[in-house]
Amino acid sequence: MAFRGTLVIDIERCKGCAVCTTGCPNKCIALSKMVNKKGYNYLEMINEEACIGCANCAVICPDGVLTVYRVKI
């Protein structure tokens, strides 16, 4: 059974530590070249099609700025 995931990122709370990027098995996320109001490069989805909704990124995020939704396809 296949799953597809989507990620909701609280951009203004993300401090750009990139810890979550190490937990993504499909390399779906990376730091943006843009910055938030605090001046941090925030997280963004770079490959939405490859996201399986495993939530590794959300579990490893030290600030809890990620919410993962997972649906069957």
- Which pLDDT band, with edges at 50, 70 and 90, does 61 fall under? very high
Phi, psi of 59 (to 5 degrees): -70, -40
How far does CA 5 lie from the centroid of its chain?
Answer: 10
Which is more confidently placed, 2 or 30? Answer: 30
Residue 1 pLDDT class (50, 70, 90 cuts): confident
When pLDDT is averaged across residues 9-29 and rounded to a whole number, the result is 96
Q: What is the mean pLDDT of residues 45-67?
A: 96
Architecture of the structural domain at 3-72: 2-Layer Sandwich (3.30)
Domain extent listing, the chain: 3-72
Q: Which two tokens stand for residue 18?
A: 């990139």
